[in-house]
Amino acid sequence: MRDEREIQQILARYVRATDRRDGTAQGALFSDDAIVQLYVKTGPDRHEPFGEPISGGAGVRYAVDHFMVPHPEGGSSHHTTSDHLIEVDGDRAHLNAQFVVFEVRATPRPADGWPADAWGAQGTIRPIESGYYDMDLERVQGQWKIVHHRILGDMPMVLPAGER
């Protein structure tokens, strides 16, 4: 498999692990000394860091397992990525891709079944986040690993008062 395709699959595994809230799978994509930083948009071409950086694959695993809100019953999230820009230089690479996250909420099946006139998907899907994933990768023992991951959000972000 070409390097560009392997790198694109790292991003695919990353977003799927995020959607599943699978800290073990997501943490395995990062090097031991990786840095992850979230940025929020503060101007037309300006982003500022939000929160503290996360360090290493173990830190990513811990953050996903302990800080990501679990999906409610019948709920999930669904990431899409597009416009992947990938540059490879030997054992180093850079990837930049746009992302949109959708909140998915299934309508519970009525106890007496769906009405006779019900048709199609039952529930709601709405976009809740967008931005760019900007990451540096290195080949570590023959496998591509994320070494620096910047999440460049398109909107401001707020944490509950007790978590600031």
How many structural domains comprise the chain?
Answer: 1
Is residue 114 assigned to a domain? no
**Cα–Cα separations (whole angstroms), residue 47 to 52, 154, 157:** 15, 9, 12
The pLDDT of residue 164: 47
Q: What is the DSSP letter of 113?
A: -
Half-sphere exposure of 128 (CA within 13 A, CB side): 13
Q: What is the C-alpha to C-alpha distance for residues 79 and 81, in angstroms, rounded to an integer?
A: 7
Mean pLDDT of 107-121: 92
Does residue 162 have a pLDDT over 70? no
pLDDT digits (tens, 9 = 90+) for 45-89: 888 999 899 999 999 999 999 988 899 999 999 999 999 999 999
Range of the domain at 153: 3-108+121-158
- Quick one: tokens of 43? 């101007």
Does residue 163 have a pLDDT over 90? no
Is residue 145 assigned to a domain? yes
Is residue 37 assigned to a domain? yes
Does residue 28 have a pLDDT over 80? yes
CB atoms near residue 26 (< 10 Å): 25
Is residue 84 assigned to a domain? yes
Does residue 25 have a pLDDT over 80? yes
Could you tell me how many residues make up the chain?
A: 164
Q: Are 86 and 93 within 8 A, CB to CB?
A: yes
Q: What is the CATH number of the domain that holds 152?
A: 3.10.450.50
